[in-house]
Structure 1
Amino acid sequence: MTILIDDPRVAAIPVHDLGDPLVDLADLAPTAVGAARLARRGLAMRLRAADDLLPRGIRLRVVEGCRTVAAQQSIIDDYSRRLRVEQPRLRAEELARLVSRYVAPIANAPHVAGAAADLTLVDTAGEELWMGTALDATPEDSDGACFTAAPGLDALAQAHRALLVSTLESVGLVNYPTEWWHWSFGDRYWAYLTHASHARYGPLTQEAAA
């Protein structure tokens, strides 16, 4: 059973923030701007290590790293409104559960902590490799194919996802299983999956992430 990021067991994990600064992901995030180019130093180091491990001709491309509180709340609000329109009979707790498959509540949000990256694989020309869905596809739009272990993917998408998973796991990152592109280190979800006693990174202030 998939543990979602709003699970009380995740929220209960204490945070002992290491105070790692945000650093520029630079060439790993050539199209990102502002906070999206940034990540905590511990995550950035692991992303660079993963990039070095990939086969020749393939690289990581980070689309978004850190996210401000305001940006996170905007995504939550927009997606919640969409689900209310599409499923008007949803109870509040069910709406929250469905929203959390796609975007984390502020207190648990790895992006707001600078501890997550939305990423994919690209070739030498900078073209994205086929991963089975667009990055950021919702469960509704992709019919669940955005889930990392979704059944029914074609062989090429399976191979590319397997490469992404094996490479990023080898440097200590964890995946949010409802989003093949979302990887994190040091946040509460990482702590839950790795059985760490505490998270290393907590939410940053609006000013720190700006």
Structure 2
Amino acid sequence: MSDRRVAAIPVQERGEVLLDTGVHGLRVDDRKQDAAGAWAHVCRGVLRRLQQAQALLPGGVQLLFIEGYRPRPCSAGTSKSSPTSSRARPDWQAAELGEAASRFVSPPEIAPYSAGAAVDVTLIGHEGRELDMGTRVNASPEESEGACYTDAPNLSARGRTNRATLGGALSTAGLINCGTE
């Protein structure tokens, strides 16, 4: 994974029950919904941190939960279907493919999503509409001209402010932002 801080966190089975974020007070989007409903689940520690981050946001702003738990077969499928997969880039070497894909897809062998320990979230305003974050959720570096990176220089002032608001609440709550997303 290209963010070494995230890759350095060992994923260990702790027997933690995965909890449904929607049942526990978070607004959940269905764009990543799977048939089993797994996408809306996270481990207890992550849920607690998300609830804390929600409480830190300014009035009228809420987290919008996009995706959490991703079973290993789903993570492997996501990795293989990425725009930087060997199917999409047959001329690239394995190391190049791995580095490029890990900018926005966690490799299944270290994927914190498969432990319910990672999430995709964004912000919504009081009308329930997503706030401007500079790109769509899960935009690739290629389609966004690099604006998907947290500290991209080519963001609007509003996008930068909203990212800082989200990042500040998440980091204060004890979560780590993947800088390539």
In which range does the TM-score fall when normalised by the shorter chain? 0.7 to 0.9
What corresponds to 1:138 in structure 2?
Answer: 140
CA distance in structure 2 between the aligned counterparts of 1:17 and 1:69, rounded to whole angstroms: 13
1:68, distance to aligned residue in structure 2 (A): 1.2
- 8 A Cα contact 2:40 2:69, kept in partner: yes
What corresponds to 1:51 in structure 2?
Answer: 54
Give the match's secondary structure for 1:79: coil
TM-score normalised by the chain length of structure 2: 0.87
What corresponds to 2:165 in structure 1?
Answer: 163
CA distance in structure 2 between the aligned counterparts of 1:136 and 1:65, rounded to whole angstroms: 13
What corresponds to 1:208 in structure 2?
Answer: none
Q: How many residues end up aligned between the 2 structures?
A: 173
| Higher helix content, 1 or 2 | 1
- 8 A Cα contact 1:29 1:37, kept in partner: no
What corresponds to 2:21 in structure 1?
Answer: 25
1:175, distance to aligned residue in structure 2 (A): 0.8
TM-score normalised by the chain length of structure 1: 0.75
What corresponds to 2:78 in structure 1?
Answer: 75
CA distance in structure 2 between the aligned counterparts of 1:119 and 1:38, rounded to whole angstroms: 13
- 8 A Cα contact 1:66 1:111, kept in partner: yes
CA distance in structure 2 between the aligned counterparts of 1:155 and 1:14, rounded to whole angstroms: 36
1:29, distance to aligned residue in structure 2 (A): 3.9
> Alignment RMSD, CA only?
2.1
1:14, distance to aligned residue in structure 2 (A): 4.7
- 8 A Cα contact 2:68 2:120, kept in partner: yes
1:105, distance to aligned residue in structure 2 (A): 1.2
1:102, distance to aligned residue in structure 2 (A): 1.3
1:100, distance to aligned residue in structure 2 (A): 1.0
* Aligned residue identity for 1:144: G
1:95, distance to aligned residue in structure 2 (A): 1.1
- 8 A Cα contact 2:49 2:174, kept in partner: yes
